[in-house]
Amino acid sequence: MSAHKSCTALYHYQRYLGGRVSLRTLRNQAVHLFPTEVLTNMIIADRLRALREQKNFSQGEIEKRTGLLRCYVSRVENGHTVPAVETLEKFARALEVPIYQLFYEGEEPPKQLNLPKRKTAANIAWGGSGKDAHMLEKFRRLFSRTTENDLKLLLFTAQQMAGKKIKRQAKAPESR
């Protein structure tokens, strides 16, 4: 069922009830009647219109602020068109609200979920924290007191050791 047909059906049902029930109440109770995408579109449409009216903007002002045609703004607000995320960003900018408010009706920002924290580049890199950081600090202090010839010798030795390790790893699969 298209968004237009579902809006029209709810409107006629509201008129049948004598207008005693708001369209919002009917939409909330219509979850089992209509596909989720239709209801989501209707909620976003209502939210865009409510925010626009709250800011006392006309559809023409939204047209100027977003670069979208007024007829398109109307189609979105009436639930006939599902806007892309980029378009919703334009609406949010034009309405001077954060984008989450297009999906959320509360006054305060929604509570953030308690998700596990992502590791930063500093935490992933060797020497970013713990024992590795302590060891890296020791190396830094020691290398700052080392002469240039000794540093060259250390780097040469490290390269030789790394090269032997790589050669050993390359030969290991062949011997199996």
Asked if residue 88 has pLDDT above 60, the reply is yes
Nearest of 40, 2, 24, 83 to residue 11 by alpha carbon: 24
Confidence at residue 142, expressed as pLDDT on a 0 to 100 scale? 86
pLDDT tens track for 54-63: 999 999 999 9
Give the single-character DSSP code of 125: S
pLDDT tens track for 149-164: 998 998 899 888 888 7
pLDDT mean across residues, the chain = 75
What is the band of 133 on the pLDDT scale with cuts at 50, 70, 90? confident
**Across 40-49, 63-72, 97-106, 111-120, which has the greatest mean pLDDT?**
63-72
CA 121 remoteness from chain centre? 20
Confidence at residue 19, expressed as pLDDT on a 0 to 100 scale? 55
User: What proportion of the chain, given as a percentage, has pLDDT over 70?
Assistant: 61
By CB atoms closer than 10 A (0-12, 13-18, 19+), residue 101 is: middle
Place of tokens 């626009």: 52
Comparing 30 with 112, the larger pLDDT belongs to 112
What is the band of 15 on the pLDDT scale with cuts at 50, 70, 90? low
- Alpha carbon distance 123, 105 (integer Å): 37
